[in-house]
């Protein structure tokens, strides 16, 4: 996958684009398309987004590419009219409304809207490394409530832009628990609110900041891991051990490159619950100190340790000699040998296996083969009252 390919943009790339386009008062004209509901199967799930600026290439994907033309038309209309719309694409047969005959097996509801100041609370929350829940009306029986009306719930309260109204107070009260859950879990789904003034369908979109990958090491293999992780959507920090030169040019894919003593790694963990660490300094003493620091002073859920099991036993022996015994909860957070079993011992294969495991852990998955799993690939959200 090419990091410069706009179609393959990660959620982090989409968030960065939203921030850039809204900078300086949001003078750039753009539209945003979001999958709000899927019946059956589809390439992307609810919450998937693309950004369509007026003067630049579309960034991101809401399908595998089969709806590019219709989506571009809807984005152009949203930019020119300033109005939000929800369009349904029935791709289950040749007789669907769109007559596309695509052979897909799903019905997709797509929200297409102008990028206006109602996005600013979300952008600010993500830049502060905090999650948010964006509540957007996608259907309304109330003449006073329009498709696109929006309230954003962040860690510091409720927000709405001046360009469009927020949700009615009664609807927001009914949805508060669902919104808080979406903000905590990153889930996205449509909820029905029954009201005297008219029922509403509201898309509750939980949006999380990008996960962080902390790579402790400065050798060539650290650069390959950083590159794959950035392509996978991680915000990457390369921490170069003592004596190593922290050179930005050596790790162009990293968000930041720092010099770090292994005992000071905690200083480079910004959001522990979303940080996944990989220790690959190739120095036993440094990795031992780094492991102790991360397990004792942070709540990072994953610490991958490069090397065979015998090397990890040496690390444990060294810690024990210093009076540090790893508990069962400690060992649950440690992945060693690091990576999934892909059977590829090349530098590229090793890096891919490491990033694949970190991605699986970040998504609360085991990393097994999909052919061996039962049920849907993606979890479904139950919105029943």
- Measure the CA–CA gap between 359 and 38, rounded to whole angstroms: 24
- Any idea which of 23-27, 241-245, 321-325, 355-359 has the lowest mean pLDDT? 23-27
pLDDT bin (cut points 50, 70, 90) of residue 253 is very high
Of residues 2 and 264, more confidence is placed in: 264
CATH code for the domain in which residue 269 is found: 3.40.50.720
369 in any annotated domain:
no
Q: Are 211 and 188 in contact (CB under 8 A)?
A: no
381 in any annotated domain:
no
248 in any annotated domain:
yes
User: In terms of domains, do 50 and 149 share one?
Assistant: no
Asked whether the predicted pLDDT for residue 384 surpasses 60, the reply is no
At 221 the pLDDT is 95
What is the bridge-based pairing of β-strands 188-193 and 157-159? Answer: unpaired
User: In terms of domains, do 72 and 128 share one?
Assistant: no
Q: Give residue-wise pLDDT tens across range 303-343.
A: 999 999 999 999 999 999 999 999 999 999 999 999 999 99
At 95 the pLDDT is 54
* Averaged pLDDT, 180-190: 95
What is the DSSP code string of 109-157?
EEEEEE--GGGHHHHHHHHTT--EEEEEEEEES-TTS-TT-EEEEETTE
141 in any annotated domain:
yes
pLDDT bin (cut points 50, 70, 90) of residue 378 is low
Asked whether the predicted pLDDT for residue 146 surpasses 50, the reply is yes
pLDDT bin (cut points 50, 70, 90) of residue 152 is very high
384 in any annotated domain:
no
Burial of residue 49, with CB atoms counted within 10 A of its CB: 0-12 exposed, 13-18 middle, 19 or more buried = buried
At 20 the pLDDT is 93
- Measure the CA–CA gap between 252 and 245, rounded to whole angstroms: 14
At 2 the pLDDT is 41
Number of structural domains, the chain?
A: 3
- Any idea which of 31-40, 97-106, 255-264, 294-303 has the lowest mean pLDDT? 97-106
Asked whether the predicted pLDDT for residue 377 surpasses 90, the reply is no
User: In terms of domains, do 272 and 138 share one?
Assistant: no
* Averaged pLDDT, 273-286: 96
> Last residue of some domain: 87, 115, 143?
115
User: In terms of domains, do 283 and 200 share one?
Assistant: no
User: In terms of domains, do 256 and 269 share one?
Assistant: yes
User: In terms of domains, do 345 and 225 share one?
Assistant: yes
Residue 357: domain span = 212-362
Q: Are 35 and 47 in contact (CB under 8 A)?
A: yes
Average pLDDT across the chain, whole number: 90
Instruction: Give the DSSP H/E element, type plus range, for residue 237.
Output: strand 235-240
pTM equals: 0.87
Q: How far is CA 326 from CA 272, 284, 294, 312, 355, in A?
A: 19, 17, 12, 12, 25
At 383 the pLDDT is 56
269 in any annotated domain:
yes
User: In terms of domains, do 239 and 302 share one?
Assistant: yes
- Measure the CA–CA gap between 361 and 302, rounded to whole angstroms: 8
Please tell me whether the peptide bond between 337 and the residue prior to it is cis, using omega within 30 degrees of 0. Answer: yes
At 376 the pLDDT is 64
Q: Are 312 and 336 in contact (CB under 8 A)?
A: yes
User: In terms of domains, do 348 and 294 share one?
Assistant: yes
User: In terms of domains, do 87 and 225 share one?
Assistant: no
> Of 339, 293, 296, 331, nearest to 312 (Cα)?
331
Q: Count of H helices and E strands in the chain? A: 9, 16
Other beta carbons within 10 Å of 38: 19
User: In terms of domains, do 40 and 134 share one?
Assistant: no
State whether residue 190 is helix, strand or coil: strand
Q: Give residue-wise pLDDT tens across range 21-76.
A: 998 667 679 999 999 998 877 778 899 999 999 988 899 988 876 788 899 999 99
């Amino acid at each position: 996958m090419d990091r410069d390919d706009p179609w393959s943009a990660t959620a982090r790339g989409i968030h960065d684009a939203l921030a850039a386009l809204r900078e300086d008062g949001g003078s750039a004209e753009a539209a945003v398309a979001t999958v709000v509901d899927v019946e059956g199967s589809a390439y992307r799930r609810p919450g998937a987004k693309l950004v369509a600026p007026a003067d630049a290439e579309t960034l991101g994907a809401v399908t595998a590419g089969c709806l590019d033309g219709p989506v571009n038309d809807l984005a152009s209309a949203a930019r020119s009219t300033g109005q939000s719309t929800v369009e349904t694409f029935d791709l289950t047969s040749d007789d669907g409304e769109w007559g596309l005959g695509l052979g897909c097996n799903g019905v997709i509801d797509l929200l297409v809207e102008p990028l206006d100041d109602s996005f600013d609370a979300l952008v600010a929350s993500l830049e502060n490394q905090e999650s948010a829940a964006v509540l957007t009306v996608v259907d309304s029986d109330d003449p006073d409530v329009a498709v696109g009306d929006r309230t954003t719930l962040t860690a510091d309260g409720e927000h709405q832009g001046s360009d469009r109204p927020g949700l009615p107070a009664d609807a927001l009260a009914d949805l508060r628990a669902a919104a808080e859950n979406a903000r905590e879990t990153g889930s996205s789904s449509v909820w029905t609110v029954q009201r005297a003034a008219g029922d509403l369908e509201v898309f509750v979109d939980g949006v999380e900041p990008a996960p962080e990958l902390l790579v402790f090491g400065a050798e060539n293999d650290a650069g390959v891991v950083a590159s794959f992780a950035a392509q996978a959507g991680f915000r990457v920090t390369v921490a170069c051990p003592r004596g190593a030169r922290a050179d930005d040019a050596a790790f162009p894919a990293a968000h930041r490159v720092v010099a770090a003593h292994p005992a000071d790694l905690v200083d480079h963990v910004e959001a522990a619950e979303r940080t996944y660490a990989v220790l690959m300094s190739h120095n036993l003493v440094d990795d031992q100190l780094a492991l102790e620091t991360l397990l004792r002073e942070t709540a990072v859920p994953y610490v991958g340790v490069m090397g065979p099991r015998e090397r990890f036993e040496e690390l444990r022996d060294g810690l024990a000699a210093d009076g540090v015994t790893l508990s069962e909860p400690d060992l649950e957070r440690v992945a060693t040998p690091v990576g999934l079993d892909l059977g590829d011992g090349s530098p590229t294969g090793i890096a891919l296996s490491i990033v694949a495991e970190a991605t699986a852990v970040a998504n609360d998955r085991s990393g097994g083969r999909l052919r061996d799993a039962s049920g849907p690939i993606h979890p479904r959200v139950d919105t029943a009252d």
